[in-house]
Every structure is written in structure tokens, then in C-alpha cells.
Structure 1
Amino acid sequence: MSVVARPPIVTGALLVRMATVVASSIGFFLPFSVVPEYAERSAGPAVAGAANAALLVTTVAVELAAPALVARIGYRWALGLGLLALGAPTLVLLASSDAAVVIAVSALRGVGFAITVVAGGALTAELVPAERRGEGLALVGLVSGVSALVALPTGSWLAQVAGYGVVFAATAVVPIVSVLTVPFLPGRPAMAERVAAVKRAAGVERASGVERVAGVKRAAGVGAGLRTPALMWPAAIFAASAAGTGVLATFVPLAVRGGPIWLAPAALLAQSATAALARWVAGRAGDRRGHERLLLPGLLMSASGLAAVSLTSSSVSVLAGAAVFGAGFGVLQNATMTIMYARVHPEQFSTVSALWNAAYDSGMAAGAFAVGLLAPLTGYPPALLLTAALMAATLPLIPRARRSP
């Protein structure tokens, strides 16, 4: 019996793509917990939440329009413009901490991040073999997760020991320098490669029921994708978990400010580390056993972890909860993304990238904004616990998300 060799995941083009993954992750996460602290000093907790909410709301709005831009100008131009817009506006924060300036800069950075993740996500899906997509997306996700793992707590630590200016300068430099790698990426997928990808996808009929491309209605764009339950139910579940990420990254440094100085960076590090590891494990396990099976444990871990973080008077509870939440979030990251890509043809990859990233960022924005309004009234522990309860309330959506189209 002949053994069919599995196609390699790592290629030269994917390695170059990973350089932009690292740069965009650092550009996004390095200042994510720092900007709210910077804004709070001059304008209070409401503006602290509004800063990241502006970043994320703008990101979501532009993500929904970005597939059309990518189709018009191609991957290289889109990635280059996105990286520049993500990094350069941060330099303005070196001169002003005014609330309006902070929110405007955050909004401009959201535009850049949206273009970067939509173009980059579609390109990644093109570069990874369809039959190893879960594992390939997990690998790229691991690179992104490790970058976030380093960037998120490092930003909080750098702000304490070196000042906000160092964080903002680094946030600008890394994405701008990475633009130099963009010319080495594919501008657009070759037509022959697109046809081959469609043919490979059309023959996939996995026992897990995840990849059943034949017979799936082809979405015509983001609008059609929003009306496609096979895409929107997984996206909704992921958005619920993403809300917890927005809350943790924005408010943990503020919620535990009276505790040990190391607690906030350690909690952010624990969340990032377990998310990256769980995403990798979920990719390998899902390719073999079915990605739908991972939705329930991922959501349960996310909700229970955030509930534990709400016990802010206990350093052990905060650290353990952040780690459990991160694991659940990492599982849902890879499972929902792989499910959604498997349910469309390659020409709709930009649409899936836009919808998935919009779910990510809208969830983060909703969590950050809601807790920013609620915390001054209730305190941080009740606000965190309420977020966990709302996350758990999405459990009834899982059976719908599991259904194959």
C-alpha cells in the first residue's frame, strides 16, 4: 500500500509571512495595556476603556471593508499600508496624553491593524496546504501567540521601568521596519494555484464533518458571509471569548494595582503563554479528531478562568484564572478559524479572515468598553465576574456552530 506524502507546511513564503505576523502582533499588543494606563492618568477609567475600544471598534469597521481593498491592490500593498498605519501614529503619543489625541491615535492604529490582519490572514490560508490547514494555522498562530506573549507583559513592564515613551517608540519602529519584508511576499495568488486549491478543497470530505467544501454555497463577500450561519455561529462563540481578552488586557493592570508589582505582568504572561500553547495543541488535535469537538471545552475554560481572575485579592487566583482563560481562548482561536476556512472556497478566504478578525476585535472592544463603564460603579471584581457570566451564556450556541453546512 502506497503512502501519500503530506505536503510541507513551512515554506520560504510562509517564513517571510511570519515576520509580518511578529511585527503586527508586537505593534498591537506592546502598548495594549499601556495606553489605558497612560490615558487614565489624565482622564480617568472611562477614557482608559474608550482608548482600546476606539482601537477595536475602528478595527472591526475597517475589517469588514478590507476584503475589497485586498482584492483591488493585492496582499503586498495592503500589508505594507496596514503596517505603516499600525505603527506610525503611535509617535504622536510621545507629545500628548490628551484624551482626544489618545483616542484618535488608537482609531488610526485600528485602521492599520484591520488591513494587516485581513490581508495577512487570507495570505496565510493561501500559503498553507488545505489538508493540513488546522496545523498550519496553529503554527502561524503560535508565532503570533509567542509574540503577544512577549509583547503584552513586556509593554506593562517597560512602562514601569523605562516610561511610556519607550513603549510608544518601540511600537512605531517594529511595524515600520517590517515593511521591508513585504516585497518578498506574493502579491496575488497565481490563477493556477487558486484552481488547484479549489480542486483540492472540493475533494475534501472529512469524517469529522468540518471540511465539506463540496456543495457549500459560495459567499459573495462580507455581506453574504454575515448572512451565512455556518460562518456566523463559530464567529459568535469566538467573540464571546474575545471579550474576556479585551477585559484582561485592558483592566488587569488596574484591577490588581494594589497588589504585588509583578502580578499584572505575570498574569498577562500566563494568559498569553497558555493561549499560544493551547492553540498549537488544538490545531493538531482538531485535524485528527474534528475541530467542532473543541468548542465546548474552549468556552468552558474561558468563562471559568475569567471568573477566577475576578478574585483580585488573591494573586494565586488571578494567575491561575489567567492561565485557564488563556488555554480556553487559544483552543477557540484555532478551532473557530479552521472551521470557518473549511466551509468556504479559497476565493472567500479574505471574507473569512475579515469575519473572524471582526469577531475577535468586536468582542475585545465590547468587553473593554463595557467594563470601563461598569467598573467605576461596581469595582473591578463584579465587572469581571459579570463578563464571565455573559461568556458562559453563549454555551447554547455551540450545537448550532457544530453543524456542517
Structure 2
Amino acid sequence: MGTARRTLLNRQMILLLTASLGSLTAFYLLVSVVPLYVATSGTGDAGAGLSTGVMMAATVLMELAVPAVLRRCGYRTGIAMGLLLLGVPSAVLVVSPALPLVLAACVARGAGLGIVVVAGPTLVAELVPDRRRGEALGLYGVAVGVPSVVVLPLGVWLSAHIGYGAVFVLGAAVPLATLAAVAGLPAARGPAEHHTGVLGGLRDGGLARPVMIFAAITVAAGIVLTFLPLAVSAGARGTAALALLVQASAMPLVRWLVGRYGDRHGIAHLLLPAVFAAAAGTAGLVWLHNPYLLVAGAGLFGAGFGAVQNITLTLMFQRTPKPEFGRASVLWNLAWDGGMGFGAVGFGLVAGHVGYAAGFALTAVVLVAALIPAWIDRRRTQ
């Protein structure tokens, strides 16, 4: 992106952050509302789970196709397509809660999400100079992380007070309004496909280790976000909600701070302590009856999770030629989505046999195991 100014917040970067904020706002606004809409319309828990499941499946499948989309259409058109796929189907949900219609809308929304979450960090890495990439990715993390803190609970609250239809219209209006920002993004097309394909990047240990480490963290994240409210007693649900709020707030803040620090002092040496922080925070969740440890553990996990997000993505871009940035972004996002889904499903199968506390302890062990590739990566980069 040779025409981009060599400053961090150039015009195109601001427009990209605006588009990213709009797209993730549209996603998080409905991510809990649609399952409620389905469940209260006669299909119950099965329909609610299916609505989320098909959306995330579509996200993963589209992520694999995004490099081809960017090669054919370019960044501007590709991100515009993602916003349209997030917006238009949201308005369609007003028509009927019939499960086939809802699932079709969820598939389209998942595909839109897959486009924007891969194209966003790829374009960030191209728009800013290498020496500022960590902080820029941190700012991108704030743009996509803040909606999970504010908009996710807001969507549920609005659906109870103004109705599902109004929330769906709002969910359509936000990404469609954000299309105005896309007009100023680069029209450049993505690079030619690498001969080994997207998944071929895993043959390179410099990419495979960050992917492996990040996948372990996202497995834990899927577990924490899904099961922490269920693991505490009914009287402690407020504490669980506070713990998740602290976790969600710490994540984007630390993601930005780590990127800012890493640009100035190097980032590779931060990976090992970041994984350790996430493991220690998860271990703190074992004491489910102690509200202080619960909130502190969730906050420490959120800090470690945010740090690992920035560190792994920055390292992958550092170790990837610019023409292959798209592949690095795809691998990173696949680790995120696949790990979250695998963690939630796997923990659900295990927790019924061993209990929630033991399940969180086993999760902490998984993260301790992730210290091994983190240690190897540190040795290889010294």
C-alpha cells in the first residue's frame, strides 16, 4: 500500500477502524438476541444452539475463502460485501422467526463476519509502517473488542424493552451506515495465492507455534465465556457477570498496551508471560465460591488473552512476507473461531462427569501445556 502515509492514524486507518467497529457492533448486537428470538418462538434450545452453530460454521468456511475474495474483488469491495452480509440479513429477520429463514440469515451473517475479521487485520498490517504494526493491531483490537463489552449486553436489554424487530432493524442499520467509511478504503486487490495454500502455512514452525498457542487460549476463552455463568450458584450470577465484564474490559486494553510496548521494545519475549497470565487466571476460576478470586481470575485471564491476541498476530505478520499477510490472518482467525467452538463443546462433554471446578482446573493444565511451544518460540527468536 505504497500511497499510505507513514503515520499510525492516517485517513485510511481511521476509516478501516470505523468499518471494523461497525461490523463487530452489528455482530455482537444480535449474537445473543437471535438465539433468544428463536428459542421463544417455539424451537427451544435446539434451534437457539443451531442458529449460533451454523453462523460460526459459515464464518470458518468463509475465512478460508477470504484470500480468494480479496484477490478477485480487492479490499474495498470485499469489506463492503462483509458489511452488506452482516446488515441485510438482519433486516430479513423481522419478517418471521421461522427456523429456515433464521438459519439462512445466520449463514449470511457468518459469511460477512468471516470476511471482515480476516480482511481487517490484513489491511491494518499493510496500511501502517512495520515499526508501528503492534500498536496498530492493538487499536484494531480495541475497535473489535469494545462491542463485546458494551453492545453484547445492550442487545439483550433492548430486545426486552423495545422488541426484537427494532433490534434487528438497528442491527441492519449500523453496518449499512458504515458502508460510507468503506468508500475511502484502498481498492487494491489481495496478493496471488501461495502455492501451498492457506493451511500450508502450518508447515512453518514460525507460524505454527503462534497458531497452536493462540488456539489453546481460545479453547479456554470458549469455556470461560460459555460456562462461567453456569458454574456458579444462582445467587452468584451477578458475580459471574461482573467477572465476565472485567475479563472483556481487560482484553482490548491489554491488547493495545502490549502492541504499543512491543513496537518500542520488541514483542516476542512477552509471549511466555502472557500465556502464563492466562493459565494463572484460569486456575483462579477453580475457586468458584470465592467472588474475589473469581473476578481476579477472570480479569487476569482477560489480560493474558488480550496480550496473546496481539503478540501472536504481530509475530505471524513479522514472519510472513507482505504478499502472504492474508494467509497469516486466516490462520489466526481459524485458531480463534475453531478454538472457541471446540472449547465450548469439549468442556460441555467433560464437565458433566468431573464438575465445573475440575473442568476449569483441566483447562488451566491445557494452558500450562501451551507454555512449552511458547518457551520454544522464545528460544528460537533469541
Provide the TM-score with structure 2 as the length reference. Answer: 0.85
Aligned partners of 1:56 and 1:364 also within 8 Å: no
The yes-or-no answer on 1:319 pairing with 2:295 is yes
Aligned partners of 2:74 and 2:190 also within 8 Å: no
The yes-or-no answer on 1:302 pairing with 2:278 is yes
From 269, 276, 279, give the equivalent of 2:252.
Answer: 276
The residue that corresponds to 1:126 in the other structure is: 126
1:223 Cα deviation (Å)? 3.5
Please identify, of 127-136 and 46-55, the stretch whose mean Cα deviation from structure 2 is larger.
46-55
The residue that corresponds to 2:8 in the other structure is: 9
Aligned partners of 1:52 and 1:250 also within 8 Å: no
> CA 1:171–1:232 in structure 2 vs 1: closer, same or farther (change >3 Å)?
farther
User: In the alignment, residue 304 of structure 2 is paired with which amino acid?
Assistant: G
The residue that corresponds to 2:149 in the other structure is: 149
Q: 1: CA distance between counterparts of 2:367 and 2:187?
A: 39
SS in 1 for 2:31: coil
> CA 1:359–1:280 in structure 2 vs 1: closer, same or farther (change >3 Å)?
same
The yes-or-no answer on 1:352 pairing with 2:352 is no
1:399 Cα deviation (Å)? 2.9
SS in 1 for 2:295: helix
Q: 1: CA distance between counterparts of 2:16 and 2:89?
A: 23
Q: Deviation digits for residues 53-88 of structure 1, max 9, x if unmatched?
A: 433332222212210110111011110111121233
Q: 1: CA distance between counterparts of 2:348 and 2:308?
A: 25
Q: Deviation digits for residues 241-278 of structure 1, max 9, x if unmatched?
A: 11233233334444458235644543332112101111
Q: 2: CA distance between counterparts of 1:383 and 1:38?
A: 31
Hey, which of these two has a bigger chunk of helix by percent?
2
Aligned partners of 1:230 and 1:404 also within 8 Å: no
The residue that corresponds to 1:249 in the other structure is: 225
Within a 5 Å distance, the mapping from 1:35-74 to structure 2 comes to 35-36=34-35, 51-74=51-74
From 318, 323, 346, give the equivalent of 1:370.
Answer: 346
The residue that corresponds to 1:173 in the other structure is: 173
Aligned partners of 1:62 and 1:115 also within 8 Å: yes
Aligned partners of 2:93 and 2:102 also within 8 Å: yes
The residue that corresponds to 1:28 in the other structure is: 27
Q: 2: CA distance between counterparts of 1:73 and 1:184?
A: 15
> CA 1:69–1:386 in structure 2 vs 1: closer, same or farther (change >3 Å)?
same
Q: 2: CA distance between counterparts of 1:161 and 1:236?
A: 43
The yes-or-no answer on 1:387 pairing with 2:359 is no
Aligned partners of 2:33 and 2:159 also within 8 Å: yes
The residue that corresponds to 1:108 in the other structure is: 108
User: In the alignment, residue 343 of structure 1 is paired with which amino acid?
Assistant: R
> CA 1:327–1:162 in structure 2 vs 1: closer, same or farther (change >3 Å)?
farther
Please identify, of 101-110 and 392-401, the stretch whose mean Cα deviation from structure 2 is larger.
101-110
SS in 2 for 1:188: coil
Q: Deviation digits for residues 12-44 of structure 1, max 9, x if unmatched?
A: 111111111101221232333444555666666
The residue that corresponds to 1:198 in the other structure is: none
From 269, 276, 280, give the equivalent of 1:293.
Answer: 269
Please identify, of 318-327 and 102-111, the stretch whose mean Cα deviation from structure 2 is larger.
102-111
Q: 1: CA distance between counterparts of 2:126 and 2:71?
A: 14
User: In the alignment, residue 13 of structure 2 is paired with which amino acid?
Assistant: L
1:107 Cα deviation (Å)? 3.2
Aligned partners of 1:291 and 1:335 also within 8 Å: yes
The residue that corresponds to 1:401 in the other structure is: 377
Q: 2: CA distance between counterparts of 1:88 and 1:33?
A: 18
1:225 Cα deviation (Å)? 1.5
User: In the alignment, residue 259 of structure 1 is paired with which amino acid?
Assistant: G
Q: 1: CA distance between counterparts of 2:285 and 2:95?
A: 35
The yes-or-no answer on 1:229 pairing with 2:205 is yes
> CA 1:47–1:266 in structure 2 vs 1: closer, same or farther (change >3 Å)?
farther
Q: 1: CA distance between counterparts of 2:187 and 2:253?
A: 31
1:319 Cα deviation (Å)? 2.5
Q: 2: CA distance between counterparts of 1:35 and 1:251?
A: 19
> CA 1:111–1:189 in structure 2 vs 1: closer, same or farther (change >3 Å)?
closer
The residue that corresponds to 2:316 in the other structure is: 340
* Count of aligned pairs between the two proteins: 374
> CA 1:53–1:240 in structure 2 vs 1: closer, same or farther (change >3 Å)?
farther
Q: 2: CA distance between counterparts of 1:283 and 1:290?
A: 9
Q: 2: CA distance between counterparts of 1:372 and 1:76?
A: 40
1:97 Cα deviation (Å)? 5.4
Please identify, of 233-242 and 46-55, the stretch whose mean Cα deviation from structure 2 is larger.
46-55
SS in 2 for 1:316: helix
SS in 2 for 1:30: helix
Unaligned 5+ segments in structure 2 are: none
CA-atom RMSD, angstroms? 3.2
Aligned partners of 1:53 and 1:369 also within 8 Å: no
Please identify, of 38-47 and 58-67, the stretch whose mean Cα deviation from structure 2 is larger.
38-47
Provide the TM-score with structure 1 as the length reference. Answer: 0.80
Aligned partners of 1:53 and 1:366 also within 8 Å: no
1:183 Cα deviation (Å)? 1.3
Unaligned 5+ segments in structure 1 are: 1-5, 192-217
